[in-house]
Every structure is written in structure tokens, then in C-alpha cells.
Amino acid sequence: MDKHILFVCVFFIVNVFQAQSRTFTEEDCPVCVSTIDKFSKTLEGEKNPKNIEEQFKKYCLSTKIDKEKRLCYYLGGLEDSATGILSEMSKPLSWSMPALKICERLKKMDAQVCDIKYDKEIDWKTVNLKKMKVKDLKKILDNWGESCDGCLEKTDYIKRVEELKPSYVKDEL
């Protein structure tokens, strides 16, 4: 009986160490890493955390990508943000810490930061718009900054997407 308990304890300890030793990657927190990386390239050598926070708030107001807006909300970069952990992002940025490490630290403070994922890209060569939901068709139009005035049925949305597709989808060779 004692050998079984010892075996279970060793098994448990090994699993805990394996879980802790897993490295944090960009796939764990894609929106955070890409947003902070993109933002850090706009800083032009800024080292003052307060100035970085102000510039991040301006960046948040100017971004059109809704996933980045949500990250801004979680960090406190928007007027209506419920929390404010901007200093946890600005200080490491002032030390030139990589975006991946910053996001790893932010995840420990607020796991929601890494729950944000980008939408899957549509493969326009194989997609069947007739099988898509109206909600997804509306989202495509919204991402393009277009609307479908007078659309009542799914076929109206499909027709509008097909009509605008040449302007927004580039065929790759």
C-alpha cells in the first residue's frame, strides 16, 4: 500500500513540474503579443512609463480592430475601462522588454488578456457563402467597413459580399 501512495505522489509531482516548465508562446496570447509589439514600434525610444501610457491610450482610440479594442479595455487604455493595469505594460516597455514577456506577466494579473483570439481567416477560394450564417456575413461586411442597406434575407447579404469581394479580397497566385 505504501508503494502505491509513493507512486501516486511521484506521478503528481512530475506532472506539476511538466505543467510549469511549458514555455509561453505567441499562440497562447496572440492579440496581446501582436498589439503590444505593433504599439512598441511606434514609441521611437520613449522611456518614460507615463508617456508610454498616454501614447497607448491614443493608440487605443485610433485602432479599428475590435480585438485590439478589447485588449485596450482590459488594460485600462479606454475611457470606459473597468480596470487599469497600464503600468504593468508601460514599465516593462520602457525597459525594452519583449511583447511576449509582457503578455506573459499580464496574463498572471488578468487571464482575460490572453483569452482574446483573432478570428480565423476565411479561405476565399473554398468558402461557400450559402453555408455561412447571416451573423458571419454581417461580420465580413463590418470588417470591410461596409453595410448592407435594405438587406432582409440571407441571399441579400450573400449578394452584397459577392459584389464587394473583388475590392477587398486579393487573389494570390
Listed by start position, the domains of the chain span 26-114, 129-168
Q: What is the pLDDT of residue 173?
A: 42
pLDDT of 96-141, one tens digit each? 999 999 999 999 999 999 999 988 888 888 899 999 999 999 988 9
* 3-state SS assignment for residue 104: helix
- Average pLDDT score over the chain: 87
CB 52, CB 102: distance < 8 Å: no
26-114 domain in CATH 1.10.225.10? yes
CA atoms within 13 A on the CB side of 69: 8
Cell of 5: 501512495
- Work out the angle between the directed axes of helices 49-62 and 30-40 (0-180°, nearest 10): 110
Q: What is the pLDDT of residue 142?
A: 85
CB 89, CB 75: distance < 8 Å: yes
Residue 86: which of 39, 27, 29 has the closest Cα? Answer: 39
81 Cβ partners below 8 Å, 6+ apart? 72, 73, 74, 75
pLDDT of 1-30, one tens digit each? 577 676 666 666 666 555 554 688 888 999
Q: Is the pTM of this model over 0.85?
A: no
113 Cβ partners below 8 Å, 6+ apart? 29, 32, 71, 74, 75, 103, 106, 107
User: Residue range 46-57: average pLDDT?
Assistant: 94
